Amino acid sequence: MSLKLKNRNSEGTEIERKFLVKNFDWKRKSNGVVYQQGYLSNDSSRTVRIRLEGKVGKLTIKGRKTGLSGDEFEYDLPVKDAKYLLRNLCKQPTILKKRYKVHFNGLVWEVDVFEGENKGLIIAEVELNSADQKIKIPKWVGKEVTRDRRFRNANLVTHPYPNWRHELKN
């Protein structure tokens, strides 16, 4: 198993902002990648995630977030093992989504279109080099939800979006 840091920080810190998506102006002719992910642990201080990214298996360990950043370590995992863990050991239901990468103003935005239990939710995330990095927000991006814990994938397993979306204020 090899360690692959998701971002540029050699200490394993992820810095990201998360937003709702207003419309489909972001979508081009790109094909997204189907993701299935589940959680072995998702308490408030850490999450342990198993993911299939298309035909690639991943194990991700995340620590508690402070503001925009938190510890994150990601490892390659044999696909057979990932499928077994998702089916037999992860909390159910698992998260199903299609991820698109959208290049805008020098950054890569990841747009997740959720299916299954969270159908109807579309989120855009952008990873940053620092918490105070200035970014230009695309016109198709809506309300920021970075600090709203309901939008964390680990929480969407036990509290699916359709069950509380009526509570959102525009």
Please provide the CATH number assigned to the domain covering 13-167.
Answer: 2.40.320.10
The model's pTM: 0.88
**Single-letter code of the amino acid located at 141:** V
pLDDT at 31 over 60: yes
Could you state, in order of their start, the residue ranges of all structural domains in the chain? Answer: 13-167
Residue 35 appears among annotated catalytic residues = no
| Nearest one of 80, 58, 65, 64 to 5, comparing CA atoms | 58
The better pLDDT of the pair 15, 7 is held by 15
Tell me the pLDDT tens digit for each residue of 40-74: 998 888 999 999 999 999 999 998 877 777 889 99
Handedness of CA 78, 30, 98, 129 (dihedral sign): positive
| Residue 170 confidence (pLDDT) | 58
User: What CA–CA distance (Å, rounded) separates 65 from 14?
Assistant: 9
Tell me the pLDDT tens digit for each residue of 77-91: 999 999 999 999 999
User: What CA–CA distance (Å, rounded) separates 43 from 21?
Assistant: 27
Burial (CB < 10 A; 0-12, 13-18, 19+), residue 97, is: buried
| Residue 12 confidence (pLDDT) | 77
Task: Catalytic residue, from 39, 75, 84, 100: name it.
Answer: 39
User: In 3-state terms, what secondary structure has residue 13?
Assistant: strand
